[in-house]
Structure 1
């Protein structure tokens, strides 16, 4: 166990008795001593609860709520149009126009948690892969930017050898400008890399939690846990999609527009204009957003299946009605 502090028996504590728990119930979210565990197994309402030996219980696994965060009621329905577990009030207020509303118990019973786990695991891997590509791209881009600036400085140094103090002043000014622009771009790149690292850590934690939640929770809690992780994964996927329009993820090239009159006006250094203008050229990078496309397809497919199921039920109802009339 993660802690040396013994876990007390919940029912005994209610009776003002301190008893060490021998069993942990994931449905009740509390420990049970050997006596209470025996009653727990015999009662009809709790005999199917998922329990483990207290020594195998991992307190680090976060509790999966089975109540609606918005209304505080039990999650007992499921909207296939929005892929969301709902309570009665959710259905009446936010999903009144949705079709194919099912009981959460039937959806859980017909859901292959392992298949959902595998899909989310793939989504996490895909999103991590995209974020890693952006990280690598920015690292390479920063190195290339430094090389480009060094190349510009060498060009400026070549001209410097041909002219006098005035050119030295121009060189200093232009080098400062290139360094300023490079530092600005590196600062932007470092900022987005820091944020991406945060998303990567979050996704990896979700990935670790995903593999532990199935084996240590009830099927309902596993379903809800997987659903909660899926929502968080979708948020990360949306973050990746939004990166496409983020100025900081665009590749930058630091270039110089050379003054064509430099060679011809070396003899008139006083009137010499700046050697060039430093600029940043941005271009988009290709991101593989397969996970987002797959998510949209999944929503569309679920809605289509819901419509088909409703049509089938209506047809069957009509057939039964007509058959009954003919008899």
Structure 2
């Protein structure tokens, strides 16, 4: 399809490779600048509508793939059969649509389609669908934003709670350490008093032992002197 769009159809038929500048909607082919001038001046084609190739290429690919030529008879579609909902060339009408009553010129169908109720209803449905999708998209974007904000708030609250817990633990540790130091000091004092008492008793015992040894020694000497 891209080569068909970019190459002049008339020149290509004559084995001349020239780029197309416009697209003829009636002939369904591209034309170079020279062929466009001849096309616009010729009696049979002067009423044809041209579109710049750059603009025509912007159309959706499924639209570009629509052919205006009957693949069976290789003739241009001219009639639209409403009964069978299909375009027809001149020979199609004769061969298969002879009994069909609702046959309209394709040009008339195209002109009327933009103002038809079905076309307007489709436009309304697409606009409504687009609006709903935008609302859904904005809602999801707001959800993402709200989720991020909630995450930030929760993180901040967790950090604040951790600070409070750490402060409480620090105070609790300080209080427990004070109690521990006080208990240690109290026990040290009790032990010191007990040690002092024991040392005093030890001194007394040593003194008793010394006195006892003196008594024992003097008693032995006194007894020996007495017996002598």
Higher-helix-fraction structure: 2
The structure whose Rg is larger is 2
TM normalised by structure 2 equals 0.40
- Larger RCO (CA within 8 A; separation ≥ 6): 1
